[in-house]
Amino acid sequence: MRSGIRRVRYFAYRVLVAIRELEDMFPQRSCLALPTIARLVRFNGSSSNTSGPLLPTRKLEPEAPAPLTEEEFSSMTIHGRSLYPPSYHPRTHSVPVAQLQFRAYNHQFLELYMHFVGHAAAALGIPISRPVYLPTQRSLWTVPRGPFVHKKSQENFERKVHKRAIKAWDADPEVVDRWVRYIARHAMPGVGLRVTQWKRAPPGIGQHMVDAAVGTTRPGSGADNVKALAKKIMRQEL
């Protein structure tokens, strides 16, 4: 029986230690768990926590951070950072916002452009993925060397398309727009860029798009126009 009591006290002590550790990690939320554990401890007669009625001592809402001064901001700049790979911001909510796809016939300018894009995103605070290496497309053409006959001697030509993709999360659509425009303005020769952006739309967007499209169908094209014309032909000529 005595070992039973000791076991309960030990258990209560271990739980208190765990709660204290939790407090350090999540200061706002752990104050809810303290009262029940403290009651348990007091019932068993140990005196590890004999403070008065438990009240949350920490403020539940953190203060807003003070805006940076010019000196603070300029001191945060890492000079010569383009010599090193870009730093990657951690994702806050993992909400995908954009996907960029880059294609080029050779990889040198593509790699340089990736480096530039990564640094630009780091400067703007956009969480992005590392560049994803999509499979290279290879087209091969085998053609006879001569203009006429002589099929047995041919020559091979190829064209490789190197592809990379970068995904962006969490940032404001305006920030992503600026990033994309900045990248496009300083585009690398021979590298093509395709941007897919996802934005939040208000409810009722589907109906709005349908209403906008209703008046814009071009006359004189499409299967319905063919059928209407066929009916007209049948009436007039046949």
Partner 1 sequence: MPNARVLRDIKARNIVKANEVLRRAYLYVARNETLSPQVRHQAQLQLNTFGKYTRPTTVKNRCAESGRGRGIISEFALCRYQFRLKALKLELPGVRKASW
Query: Can you tell me the distance from the alpha carbon of 173 to that of 181, in angstroms, rounded to the nearest whole number?
Result: 12
- Residue 5 found at the interface with partner 1 (CB under 8 A): no
Q: Which is nearer to partner 1, 159 or 186 (CB)?
A: 159
Q: Which of residues 33-92 bind partner 1 (CB under 8 A)?
A: none
Give the C-alpha separation, 16 to 33, whole Å. Answer: 10
Q: Which among 42-50, 65-73, 120-128, 141-149 is the span making contact with partner 1, rule CB under 8 A?
A: 141-149
Give the whole-angstrom CA distance, residue 214 versus residue 224.
15
Stretch that binds partner 1, among 10-18, 82-90, 128-136, 220-228 (CB under 8 A): 220-228
Question: Count of CB atoms within 10 A of residue 216's CB?
Answer: 6
Whole-number minimum distance, CB 81 to partner 1, in Å? 33
Q: Least distance from C-beta 231 to partner 1, angstroms? A: 9
Measured between alpha carbons, how far is 213 from 208 in angstroms, rounded to an integer? 9
How many residues bind partner 1, per CB under 8 A? 28
Handedness of CA 223, 228, 232, 238 (dihedral sign): positive
Does 158 participate in binding partner 1 (rule CB under 8 A)? yes
Token reading at 63? 């203060």
Q: Which two tokens stand for residue 125?
A: 């605070």
- Which residue among 56, 85, 146, 173 contacts partner 1 (CB under 8 A)? 146
Q: Out of 74, 156, 216, 236, which residue is the one contacting partner 1 (CB under 8 A)?
A: 156
